[in-house]
Structure 1
Amino acid sequence: MASNAASNSTSIVYISYLYLTEFTWTANILIPTWPAMIVFGFAANITNIIVFLRIGVNDNVTILLLSLSISDLMYLTLMTPTVCSYIMLIFAPYWPWPTHVDIGIELLYWPAITCYDFSAFLSVWLGVTRCACVAMPLQFKSVFTKGRTIKLVLASFLLAVSLRMPIMTVNRVGWRTDHGTNISYAYVEKQNRKAMTQINDILNRNSILYINFIIMIACVSILSFKLYQASRIRKSYTSAFTTQQTSEKSDRQGLSAKDLHVIRSVVLVGSIFIMSQAPFLISSTARLISDNFDIDHANRNRLLFFTFSIVSLTCSYLIASVNIFVYYIYNSKYKSELSSMLKRFKKPKTEA
């Protein structure tokens, strides 16, 4: 067992941040919701993976959605130690930690964020592929083939890992000895933190973040316009032609009813992505403008940094958990397969 004095002193430092007046509302309101989000996210993404596998991974959209569910599940799994540590710091600040508190908070944080980046890339590619489907429907199948989509997913994962590799080399497990008890305990040893943080800021917190955000806004705007345009076309032809003729006209426009359904789901997923990224984008912009907007500076900016960090993390847990509702509403195959699974699950109980 590690030294309680060392663990408790670190806990008190974190608690002093958490319970400052400007940070109380985020600590007391948002952080207690994290366990429920994590548990629901586990159940939702496992369900998504099972349903997509049962449907069959036969097209590029299903490949991307399956990969997104796997990535979100990995993210939530790796973030669980951080969530548990924050919860313990709030509700049991003097709990005797078996290791240094940083082990739970920081050790798996950057690998988890790498999975979150991977999910962001997949969400962006979903928007791009749907835009391509609208812009060039005839060439779409030949360009975005199943094989190329799989390669794209693998390349996106390698890109996410490569971009976060500098910052992931900072945290290492080291050992300290409490001279009072002569007991050794594990802690997070930081190496080259300042240099690697600057590289991470340039690559991920600014460049890649802005690129993803701008691309997703453009995709959502284009797809939303196409939905509005298709809605006007259908309304105008409904008043003059039969339902069959309206459907034929829709096909000639390159947007079938199935296409519109998929586009609506991507627009919703993209909109959720944009809203969830906004707090982190604001935080990154502020950090770019002011070097004092960080955890290491003892000033009022540190309080705002903690607030935006907690809000951003809450949004990330939310976006990794709520896609199941989008799939159920807008994906007919998903809804049919999930309903069938639930019926089979309930059937033995009914017979009993």
Structure 2
Amino acid sequence: MAPLQTSAAQLVGKSPHNATMMLSSGGYLLTTSQMLFSLEILSFIQIPICLLGLISNIINIKVFLAMNAFNDGVTLTFLLLSVSDFCVCCSSLGLVIATIISSEEAKWLISLRGPSATPGKKLYMFSQIDPFFLSTFSIGFLQIFNVTTIVITFYLALTRCLCVVRPLKFRNVVSVKKTLRVVAISFISALLTRVPIMGHTGISMTFDLRINATRPRMWIHPRREIIKDIVWAGFDMPLCIAAQITLPVCIFIMLKGLTSAAKFRTQAMVSNDSCPAAQDAGKEKLNQKDIRVVQQMIFVSILFIVCNTPKLLTHIGTTVEPEFQIGAWQFCASPNMQHDSTRLHTCSMTARVSTHAVRQRASPRIQHVNARSR
């Protein structure tokens, strides 16, 4: 995020390395007061969503561990997806809290502007640390685990799609070692791409003219924006586009496979023949466990596509038109809006997976099928 520049008359510092807050609102769709009000409303709405995601993922982790996740590649993949989503929700909750603190400080500053403002008055400090630093720190971790979640979702959809196309050949393609290897590579890649960005951001004890007090305050190196654009164009954008294109194809293939499996089972129930040809054909069909996993992945993939589209369009709009924004308070508003769809995707997906996982644990018949298929 670019450091916002204002003048000393707007109660901010002049240092080019200090992150400052824009209080002017000319030429934008929303005024500063309207933007602050909108951010607070969105933040208070997102708090229960984040809490729902945290609770759901705790249930996920507990259930998948009870299902001996480290003995089955598919269950382990869902477990790691829940862990990644849990970290996304934690980062999102930190971002929401930092946004609320930033909004309160901005509203306090706005209320002191004008003839009624008292020069040299010690302003109220809502946070001992610059809330902009808390926002940037939370966004960095959110992006790391968000990339990990995207890769795991993509990996699950692709492997399930291959399992539908060739059940006998790819049924055991999701092994424990392969799953751990894929997740480790995705996490390390996301971490390495964020280290240069976060390394060009720091915090130091600085006198903050806005609150007339000294506190740890964030600074941003001028080259940070260039590095961020390179990472987005070379890593984030291709990953999002690849997932957005590939997942619909996987959904189509999986739906076709489920339809074919349903027709086969209907014909098998009608016909009582047990000829060798029918038995050989039955081996090529999906078993009950595969069908449940495919159904779950279809839901997760559709939810990912629906919730990832607004974020992708926002990023593309920002890339094509740098001035693309809604309000003047760019620093806190832009990252918050860009990750709203991520939070909604994560919390909704984890709630659905939790319901499915609890249902699996509560059904002895399904537990027996899972143990037998392994």
TM-score, normalising length: structure 2:
0.74
The verdict on how the C-alpha distance between 1:182 and 1:284 changes in structure 2, with shifts beyond 3 A counting, is closer
Q: Return the index of the structure with the highest Cα Rg.
A: 2
* 1:325 aligned onto 2:339: no
**Counterpart of 2:339 in 1: which secondary structure?**
helix
1:251 positional shift: 3.4
Measure the CA separation in 2 of the matches of 1:64 and 1:15: 47
- RMSD over aligned Cα, in angstroms? 3.8
* Number of positions where the alignment pairs a residue of Structure 1 with one of Structure 2: 326
Q: What residue in structure 2 maps to residue 134 of structure 1?
A: 164
Q: Is the 8 A contact 1:23 1:306 kept in 2?
A: no
**Which stretch of structure 1 is more off in the superposition, 149-158 or 311-320?**
311-320
Paired residue for 1:32, among 24, 31, 44?
Answer: 44
Q: Give the number of the structure whose residues are more often helix, by fraction.
A: 1
1:259 positional shift: 1.5
**Counterpart of 2:286 in 1: which secondary structure?**
coil
Structure 2 unaligned spans of 5+: 1-10, 14-18, 109-123, 368-374
TM-score, normalising length: structure 1:
0.78
**Counterpart of 1:189 in 2: which secondary structure?**
strand
State the one-letter code of the partner of 1:13: L
Q: Is the 8 A contact 1:11 1:101 kept in 2?
A: no
State the one-letter code of the partner of 2:72: D
Measure the CA separation in 2 of the matches of 1:207 and 1:227: 30
**Which stretch of structure 1 is more off in the superposition, 50-59 or 200-209?**
200-209
**Counterpart of 1:321 in 2: which secondary structure?**
helix
* 1:13 aligned onto 2:40: no
Q: What residue in structure 1 maps to residue 59 of structure 2?
A: 47
Paired residue for 2:78, among 65, 75, 91?
Answer: 65
**1:242-266 deviation digits (Å, cap 9, x = unpaired):** 5999x96883342122221110001
Indicate the percent of aligned positions where both proteins have the same amino acid: 21
What pairs with 1:1-352 in structure 2 (closer than 5 Å)?
13=23, 27=39, 29-57=41-69, 58-90=71-103, 93-94=107-108, 96-97=125-126, 98-141=128-171, 143-178=173-208, 183-191=213-221, 192-235=223-266, 238=269, 240-241=270-271, 251-293=282-324, 310-322=336-348, 323-329=350-356, 332-336=359-363
**Which stretch of structure 1 is more off in the superposition, 21-30 or 124-133?**
21-30
Which has the bigger relative contact order, CA under 8 A and spacing at least 6? 2
Structure 1 unaligned spans of 5+: 295-299, 341-352
1:99 positional shift: 2.6
**Which stretch of structure 1 is more off in the superposition, 24-33 or 119-128?**
24-33
State the one-letter code of the partner of 1:288: T
**Counterpart of 2:308 in 1: which secondary structure?**
helix
1:130 positional shift: 0.5
State the one-letter code of the partner of 2:125: P
Q: Is the 8 A contact 1:10 1:101 kept in 2?
A: no
Measure the CA separation in 1 of the matches of 2:229 and 2:257: 40
State the one-letter code of the partner of 1:130: R
**1:257-305 deviation digits (Å, cap 9, x = unpaired):** 22211100010011111111111110122123223336xxxxx687899
Measure the CA separation in 1 of the matches of 2:143 and 2:199: 14
**Counterpart of 2:205 in 1: which secondary structure?**
strand
Q: What residue in structure 1 maps to residue 113 of structure 2?
A: none
